Each structure stands twice: as C-alpha cells, then as structure tokens.
Amino acid sequence: MSEMRDSVVRPPTLAQAGVEAEQEEDERQRHLPTWFLILWRNMRSRFGMFLLLAFILVAIFAPLLAPYNPRDNTFMPTQLPSTAHWLGTTQSGEDVLSQLIYGARTSLLVGILAGAGATLIGLVIGLIAGYVGGLTDEILSFFINLALVIPALPLMIVIAAYSPVKGIWVIIIVIIVTGWAWGARVKRAQMVTLRERDYITAAVFAGDSMPRIVFREILPNMMSLVIAAYIGAASAAIGAEASLEFIGVGDPTVISWGTMSYWANNSGALLTGQWLWIAAPGLALALLITSLALINFGIDALSNPKLREE
Amino acid sequence: MVYFLRRIAFFIVTLWAAITLNFIIPRIQGGDPAQAIVQSFAGQGQGVDPAQVQAVRLMLGIPNENLFQQYIDYLKAIGHGQFGLSYTYFPYTVTHMILQALPWTLVLIGVTHILSFFIGTAVGAWAAWRRNQLFDSLATSISTFLGTLPFFWTGLMLLYFLAFKLGWFPDSGGYSGHESIAFSFSFLKDAAYHAILPALALLITGPMGWIMGMRNNMIQILGDDYTRLARAKGLSEARIAMMYGARNAILPNVTAFAISLGGIMGGSIIVEQIFNYPGMGRLFFESIGNHDYPLMQTIFLFITVGVLTANFLADMLYGVLDPRVRRGGR
C-alpha cells in the first residue's frame, strides 16, 4: 500500500499553482480512493473508462436507442443498408442495427457474470493454495497448471456440445468452469509472498482466525490484483461467448454479437454484399474488449509502479 | 535435475488427466450420445456392424455398464491407438481422418505462430526501448485494439474484401481441384497460395500479445540494477538493448509460446472453417455440427496432447536456457 501512496506525489508544477488548487486536490484525494486517481491519471485507462461507460449506457437504454424491436421480423429480408435500416436487415427480416444495440446487453451480462464466477473460483483456490501450502498447495497447483495448458476453446466447445440443454446460461457456466485458472495462479503467487510478511506473522501470533487474516489482512492488499483479474476474466468471457455462439454450440435464438455473426455467416451475408452485417458486431465486440484492456493498463500500473506514466 | 524430474512427472500426470477428462466429459452430462449414434446409423439405412457399435461403446460407453470397466476398456483402446470409426465419414476410422487433416493444420499454425512470435517480440522490444515515444504509443495502442478483434471477424473480412471483392486470393480450400497432393513444386506453390488468407487471419491478432508481453518484461529489466550498472560502465546502447534487455526479457516468452499454442488452435478452428481449409480445425468444427462424437473427442484429445507435449518441451528448454530455474527447484 505504501508504494501506491508514493505514486500520488503531486507533480512539482502543482506547487506553483497556488494554495487553492492544492487544497482542492487534497479534497479530491480524500474523497476518491487512491486506485481511482491512478486509473484516472493514466490517459489510456481514462479513455477506456469512458468507452466502457458508453457501452453500459447503450445496454441500459437499448429500448430507447434501438429504432425497432430486435425480434420484429416483419421487414423485407436481406436488405442492404438504407435510411430506414442503417445496417440492413437479416435473412428473416429483422433490423440489424437494433440487434447490434441489444447485443451489448448480452455481452455485458456474460462479462459481468462469467467474469465474476471465474474470478471468485480463482480467488478461493489461489488463496487456499497460497495460504495453506504443503500438499494442499501441490495438489491445487497441479489443477491450476492443468487447467492452464488445456486449450480453452476446444474444451469449451466439447463441454457445450454435450450439454443436453442449450442457452446463454450454459455458455456462462462453461466459461466459468474453464476460465478460472489464470486468476488462481496470479493470486496464489501473491498469497505466497504476502504470507511471509511480518504483519501476517504478527496476526497469527495474536491468535487471529484464518478467515479473519485472509479477509481483513490479506485481501485488502491484493485488491488491484483481484480487479485486474476480474477485468481480464470478463474480457476473455465476452470473447469466448461470441466465439462459441459463432461456432453454433450456443443458443442461436439469443440476440448477441456472436449469434448475429453466426446468422450473417450462415445466411451468406458475404455473397449478398451485406458485409456491414458481419463487420458491425465483431467491431463492437473488439471495441468493448479494447475498453477493458485500456482500463487494465491503469490497473497494471497500480501493482507495478515501473509501468506508471510520468 | 530435480527440475527436469518434476517436469517429466507433471507431463505424465497431465497426460493421464487429459485422457481421463476426455473420458469424463461425455458421461457427466446425462443423455446418451452412444444410443443416438447407433440409432442414426440404423436411420441412414446402413447395416449396423457390431464392431462399429462396439467402437462407439468404447468411446462413449453404454450407461448400463460398470463405469470402472468402461474406463479400463477406454484406456486399453487408446493404448492400442483405436479411436473408433467416424460416423460422418463411415467407413473411415477417426485416426485416418485426423492423419489426413493434421499436416495442414501443423503447417498453418506452426508458420503463423512462429511469425507472430518474432514480429511481436521485435516490435515489443523496440517499443520498450523507445518507451513513451511515438513508436511506443502507436505500437501499444494499435496492438491493444487489433489484439481484441475476434478471429471470425478478421477471417470473414479478409474473405470478403481480398477474395470476393478483389479476387486476389482463392476463397476456399487448401489447394486447387486440378492439383493432386504431391511433394512437387507446383503443388506446394498452389497450397501456399491458398494458405495466405487463413494465415493472415491468424497473423492480424497473433503478434499482439507478444508485443505487450515483451514490452512490459523489457521495461522491467531495463530498470533493474544490472542494466543500470551496464549503463554506468559505458557499454554501447545497442549492447544494452540486445544483450541485457531483450535477451533476458525473451525468457518468459519461451513458456508463453507453448501455452499460447492452445489459443491459436482455437483460432484455427474458426479460421479453417471460414476458409474451408482441410485441416484439424475444420474437421473438429464439422464433427460438432454432425454430432460425430467419436471424431470430436479424438480431435480434442489430439489437440490437448499436442499442446501438452509442446508445453513439456518448452519447460525442458526453459530449464536448459535459464540456470536459475534448474537450481531453484521451481
């Protein structure tokens, strides 16, 4: 934590900017947590936060923003872009733009839930392995390494293909089950170094219980790591959902950027010249994941002062 | 030595775990794929060969049978290299289909993965060396965005613009119909021409992870004490960049090279399907669509074992390259 405070040393120019500005700055620092200030100062993560906010707003206000109901299939099918349908219509006569806007909901939902699930499992396994050590650590580390080397997408495909039910929830569960290992590995490593610190030894001697030590002493010191892992897991989940839907092992009736690409590809959008139908959802996906990656630039800087921008 | 023994033990246990996982997945989720397959054989009007049913049973098991016995039979079948019959490509065996597709994917993935590694590492090293300058900001910003593009997007866009619209490259297949597969110059030229677009689709996103990884490693190392000492000693800039920075920063990427093979394999499933490329990825994709479970599972096993072996070799190489790992135990 002390490292993090050091970094918010104000630039020398601020000292000349008058007492008033300095007080204001102090005021802001008291109200905003340090991590937020570091993120805000990093231009990349500031841009990423605005971009992510834009996607969240689109998802929330989708009914107001979308020109039509995304399932309304009463239009002429396979139309090229026009003023009535900016991105054209699908093979069954739905408005592509409206589907694109509603698709943000699915991607964000998957990112939030699957990211949280994978982070939680990774956190629990990583903390136990790192804290308990010994044989437990050996066994858990084996499972972490195993899950890391088994190719994720083929594994997800096989599990999803055997699933007797189809749907977005199956996809979310599959992503959680296959995507926790990276976070677990990072947290285990952090736990191992934290466990040796003096204040933890002091807490052990003071007779604190294990949950208290883990939740009150250790977890607050790895928050930046947990947030970074969460953002990483959410990006991976969003990308995986789209890929699985594109391959067709998901539920093709869900409105998502992955199913849009699936239908566009399978109804010959490229042959009819409707390339925007394919370009738009993939691009939206890339922009959403980019916004998360940009935020993670700032979070990397939280845990690694050498990467901070001067 | 302890390091190498540990890695060998880990490899053997992961191999066993992967084979067992392949056994468990179809059985854990209920339903009866074996029954469905046997029925669809009969549905197609083909005679049901008892050997065929037996093969399906070995791969997928019949619920009434003792699970432990099923597992033993499964291990025996794998030990003998018997993976059963593909039911889409009946009467060919699964192994026959996979061996036909394997070379295409090996070449496609091998070339693109190695190219990605070198391009990304070079760009990343240069960005770290010119940290916070124009090249660095451009390289990190562009690679952040390009790296997030989904494989299906890059594949479909290349297909539309470079194959359909401009007609510069063939839009599907691994070689032209008039060529026959042979080790001849004209065939290799034709195959390379067909491989350009699929390779490009993988190469657009491929180097991006390496750029960031290499850049961050190298920034770390350029700030370390021994690099500062090198500066203080007055060594040339080129020597510091190459022998101190890049040389040490590239080490962690050796293991990353093998781990990321799994990712590019996932990409090739999608890209091969888009370009109708005759490799393992397309075969896997088709086996899913056709519910050809024996084929699907065997391909999954091949992919997993391939990636595990690559990781094992990378770990071994890492031990040779970095004495710290050998001595430190782990």
Residue B20 lies in a domain: no
A155:B300 CB<8 A: yes
Domain assignment present for residue B17? The answer is no
Backbone angles phi, psi at A274, to 5 degrees: -85, 55
Mutate to test the interface with A, among B20, B141, B148, B221 (most CBs of A within 10 A): B148
Task: Say yes or no: B78 and B100 in one domain.
Answer: no
- Do both B48 and B185 map to the same domain? no
- Residues contacting B100, CB < 8 A, separation 6+: B278
CB atoms B164 and A309 under 8 Å: no
Q: Vertex B19, ends B88 and B32: CA angle to 5°?
A: 50
Residues of chain B with pLDDT under 70: 29-65, 179, 327-330
**pLDDT recorded at residue B289:** 79
Same domain flag for B140 and B56: no
User: How distant, in Å, are the alpha carbons of A96, A256, A258, B25, B251 from that of A168?
Assistant: 20, 10, 11, 19, 40
The set of residues, in sequence order, having a beta carbon less than 8 Å from that of B101 and lying 6+ positions away, is B278, B279, B280, B282, B283
Output the pLDDT for position B139. Answer: 87
Q: Count of CB atoms within 10 A of residue B11's CB? A: 18
> Which residues lie closer than 8 Å to B18 by C-beta, 6 or more apart?
A146, A150, B301, B304, B305, B308
Instruction: Say yes or no: B109 and B64 in one domain.
Output: no
B141 and B208 both lie in a single domain: yes
Q: What pLDDT was estimated at residue B81?
A: 78
**Cβ contacts of B132 on chain A, cutoff 8 Å:** 309-310
List chain B residues with CB under 8 Å of A178: none
Residues B102, B173: one domain?
A: yes
Q: What is the pLDDT of residue A28?
A: 52
Are B259 and A243 inside 8 Å of each other by CB?
no
Name all domains of chain A by residue range, CATH numbers in brackets. 105-310 (1.10.3720.10)
In the chain, the amino acid numbered B208 is: M
The confidence band for A13, taking pLDDT boundaries of 50, 70 and 90, is very low
- Work out the average pLDDT over A98-127: 92
Q: Which band of pLDDT confidence, cut at 50, 70 and 90, is reported for residue A7? A: very low
Is the ipTM, as predicted for this complex, more than 0.85?
A: no
Expressed as residue numbers, the domain containing B306 is: 96-326
Please name the residue of chain A whose CA is at the shortest distance from the CA of residue B34: A162
pLDDT of residue B329: 45
| Residue ranges in A17-167 assigned as alpha helix (H) | 19-31, 34-41, 43-60, 62-65, 96-132, 134-149, 152-162
Among B82, B113, B142, the domain-final residue is: B82
Q: What is the mean pLDDT of residues A280-291?
A: 93
Mean pLDDT score of chain A, rounded to an integer? 83
Q: In the prediction, which pLDDT does A10 show?
A: 41
pLDDT score for B208 = 85
Task: Please tell me whether residues B113 and B181 are part of one structural domain.
Answer: yes
Q: Which residue of A has its CA nearest to B29?
A: A163
Q: Are residues B216 and B242 in the same domain?
A: yes
pLDDT confidence tier of residue A238, bands split at 50, 70 and 90: very high
| Same-domain status, B147 and B255 | yes
Within a domain: B230: yes
Among residues of chain A, what percentage have pLDDT more than 90?
A: 28
Q: Is residue B11 part of a domain?
A: no
Q: What is the mean pLDDT of residues A69-95?
A: 84
Q: Has residue B229 been placed in a domain?
A: yes
pLDDT of residue A11: 43
User: Is residue B147 domain-shared with residue B55, that is, in the same domain?
Assistant: no
CB within 8 Å of A88: residues ≥ 6 apart:
A78, A79, A80, A81, A82, A96, A274, A276, A277
- Would B321 be classed as within a structural domain? yes
Q: Based on the structure, what is the number of domains in chain B?
A: 2
Rounded distance between C-alpha atoms, residue A81 and residue A276, angstroms = 8
8 Å CB contact between A69 and A59: no
Residue B227 lies in a domain: yes
Query: Residue B123 belongs to a domain with what CATH number?
Result: 1.10.3720.10
Q: Do both B75 and B167 map to the same domain?
A: no
Kindly state whether residue B234 falls inside one of the protein's structural domains: yes
Residue that terminates a domain, selected from B23, B58, B82: B82
B64 lies in the same domain as B153:
no
Of A300, A291, A308, A299, the closest CA to residue A49 belongs to A291
Radius of gyration of chain B (CA): 24
Please give the pLDDT value at position B255. Answer: 76
Q: Which two tokens stand for residue A256?
A: 């998502």
Mutation pick from A159, A270, A310 vs chain B, by most beta carbons of B within 10 Å, is: A270
Query: pTM here?
Result: 0.83
Which own/partner pairs from B314-320 qualify as long-range (CB within 8 Å, at least 24 positions apart)? B314/B254, B314/B255, B314/B257, B314/B258, B315/B7, B315/B10, B315/B11, B315/B255, B315/B258, B316/B4, B316/B7, B317/B254, B318/B251, B318/B254, B318/B255, B319/B3, B319/B4, B319/B7
Identify which of B119, B268, B269 has the alpha carbon closest to the alpha carbon of residue B199: B268
Nearest to A295 by CA among A225, A221, A228: A228
